[in-house]
Structures are given as C-alpha cells and as structure tokens.
Structure 1
Amino acid sequence: MPAFLIAYVRIVEKFNEKVGRIAMYLLFALMGVMLWGAFARSAWHPQVWTDEMGQFLLAGYFMLGGAYALQLGSAVRMDVFYSQWSDRTRAMVDAVTIFALLCYLAVLLWGGVESTQYALQYGERRSGLWRPYMAPVKIVMCIGILMMLLQCSCFLIRDIARLRGREI
C-alpha cells in the first residue's frame, strides 16, 4: 500500500481514538444533568431544560463515540458464518459491506449538512418550553457522521490491503 494511505489510516484512527476517549466523559455530564433534573423535580419545581439537554448530550456521546466504537469492533456482527471463513474471504465480504456503509453514511452526511444549513440560516429551535437552538447538536451530529465515514474508509483501505496480502 502507498505510504500516504498508511499515514491516512493512522492519522484518522488516532484522531477518532482521541475524540472517542474524550466523548466518553460526556456520560458524566449527562449523569450530572439528569441527577440535577431529578433532584430539582423532587425538591422544588421541575427544570425545563434538563430533559432536552440530556438528549443533546446523549446524541453527542453517541455520535462522537461512534467512530471509536467501530474502531474497537464494538459493532454487532452476525457471526454465523464469519468465524469459519478465511481471512481473505472475510476481507472480501467486509470490503463489500463497508462500501455499502460508506454509501449510507455519505447520504446521511449530505442530509445532515442540509439540515444544519437550514438550522443555521433560519435559527431553527426545538419545540417545547426551553426551545433550544438545533444548530449545535446538528453540527455535532455531522462531525460524528464524518468521523464514522472516515473510519469506514480506513476499514476499506485495510480490507483492500489484506486482499492484496499485506496488513496495515
């Protein structure tokens, strides 16, 4: 494999690892917001922002940690036949499925960018009592989708290298 592809894979995987490890701490922020909301609900009147802020933090945690979870192999895989296949057959099947996933993520990113542009242009707000702006969470979702897209491209490069008899 060309050196620039090997460098690309290493840079993307290192970046996704760092962002994913930072995103893990959003779980503590989510727990703090939910704890505050539960305490406020029982001690005095409910806080209108805690439920929606919890949803936004969970979306950030899920989307920013998605590429790292893929990298760790945490995704669900049907292992009925997969474990019995040779490395070459696995790489071939993985390359086809990763290509399909890349197409899906590209369409998802396209829709996410259009939705983010709309939110920024018109100041879109969520309906409800708190009415937060939607642009920040949509931007985070687009970044997470882009990170997954890059991680899947790394998987495809690795699978092609494996099919050619080389490991990255």
Structure 2
Amino acid sequence: MKKGWKSMESLSQTPIYTQSKNTTIGESDKDWPHGEVRTVRKLLSSTVNTIDAISNWSGKVLALFLLVMIAITMYEVIARYVFSRPTTWALEATTMIFGTYMICSLAYSLLSKAHVSMDIFYSKWSDRTRAIVDLCTFPLVTIFIGLILWQSTVYGIESVQIREHAATVWSPPLYPWKMTIPFGMLLLLLQHISDFIRNLVLAITGEELQ
C-alpha cells in the first residue's frame, strides 16, 4: 500500500506535457495571452511601418517637383527678359505642379510632425497624455479628411468624364491634376490611421510602438 501510495503521489507531481515538449498545461494556459499580444503588436507595427514608408517615399518623390518648378520658372524668366519671348504655359504649369506638391505632401508633413499645432500646453504634457489627447481629436480629423476625400473624388471623376481643359490659350487638361486631390487626401488618411494606431498603443501600454 505504501509503495502504491508513493507511486500515485509521484505521478501527481509530474507535470503533464502538451504538444510542446517543454511546456506544461499550466504554463501554456498562463503564457498564451502574451503570445497573442505579441502577434497583434507585431501586426500593428508592420502596418504602421508600411504606411510610414509610403508617406516617406511620397515626400521624397514630391521634393523633385520643386526642382521642376524652379527649372520652369528659370526658363520663363530667361525667355521673357532675355529673348522677349514669354511662354503661354509656364504660369499654369507651375501652379498645377505646386498644387500637386502641396496636396500630396500632407501625409509626409503629418509623418514628420510639420503641421502647425498649439504648443502652449501640448509640449509640456507627457508622451502618453499627448497620445490620449490625439485619440480624442481623431474622430473630428477623420470626418474632415473623409469629407474632402469624398467630395474631391466626385469632383475629379466628373472632370475625367468630360475631359475638362483649362479655358486658356495653352488649355492644358485639368482632370489629371484634379485627381491628385483625392490621391493626396487618401495618403493623408492612411498616415492619420497610422498615427492613430501608434497613439492607441502608447495610451494603453505606455510604450511606443516600434
């Protein structure tokens, strides 16, 4: 009886293993939520990094637009004041290029924190407090961006359908330029969502998303 009791006692103290050879049932039940959190955090980090990369890439490409504007302006100045033969297209071209640059660079500006903000209190708060405040303003900003995205898309599609051109001597097509407005707002919305994810993780965990 004593031998049988000892064998039963030793059996009860032996950890029961699951499919993993090094993990007991008790340890698995305790650790699985942390594994799920790591998976979600990794997914969020991948999403944020992808959107940030798109915004960063768009900003670098749009920087080339400034060089094109400078080249066109220099050409117009030389043609007008040196050869007395001004162009009929330089002003419109630079206007459209600059408009595209401004609209499509909003996402990059948001990524690099270049937008104007009220720093009277904001700069004195902790990172977590700033994240919470940004989360509170997220719905309003989202509605604002969404409305512009919606209306500019309708506006751009109508311009494409009628093959709209400018009523000028040069008469360039306007629909490609007008379609850059919803494109730029889409980039801004994606970066806005990226910041929301980053702020949400910081507000909940107190740690920045890497």
TM-score (norm 2): 0.75
Q: CA deviation at 1:137?
A: 0.8
Structure 1 partner of 2:47: 8
Q: Give me the whole-angstrom Cα distance separating, in 2, the residues matched to 1:40 and 1:141.
A: 31
Is 1:26 aligned to residue 65 of structure 2?
Answer: yes
Q: Which has the larger radius of gyration?
A: 2
Structure 1 residue matching 2:53: 3-state secondary structure:
helix
Residues 62 and 101 in structure 2, CA contact (< 8 A), matched pair in contact too: yes
What SS class does the counterpart of residue 80 from structure 1 fall into? Answer: helix
Residue 123 of structure 2 aligns to a residue whose secondary structure is: helix
Higher relative contact order (CA 8 A, sep 6+): 1
- Structure 2 partner of 1:69: 109
Deviation at 1:6, TM superposition (A): 2.0
State whether residues 70 and 151 of structure 1, in contact with CA within 8 Å, keep that contact through their aligned partners in structure 2: yes
CA contact (8 A) 1:21 1:65 kept: no
Question: In the TM superposition, what is the alpha-carbon distance from 1:41 to its structure 2 partner?
Answer: 1.7
Partner residue of 1:137 out of 177, 185, 190:
177
Alignment of 1:72-151 (within 5 A): 72-151=112-191
> For residues 145-164 of structure 1, what are the alpha-carbon distances to aligned partners after superposition, in whole Å with 9 as ceiling and x for unaligned?
11011000111111111111
Q: Percent sequence identity over matched residues?
A: 27
CA offsets 1:43-82 (integer angstroms, 9 cap, x no match): 2232111001001111122122221111111111110011
Structure 1 portions without partners, runs of 5+: none
Aligned partners of 2:106 and 2:184 also within 8 Å: yes
Q: Confirm or deny: 8 A CA contact 1:119 1:135 kept in the other structure.
A: yes
Q: CA deviation at 1:23?
A: 0.8
Inter-partner Cα distance in structure 1 for 2:92 and 2:153: 22
TM-score (norm 1): 0.93
Matched position secondary structure for 2:120 = coil
1:100 to partner: Cα distance: 1.7
Q: Which runs of 5+ in 2 are unaligned?
A: 1-36
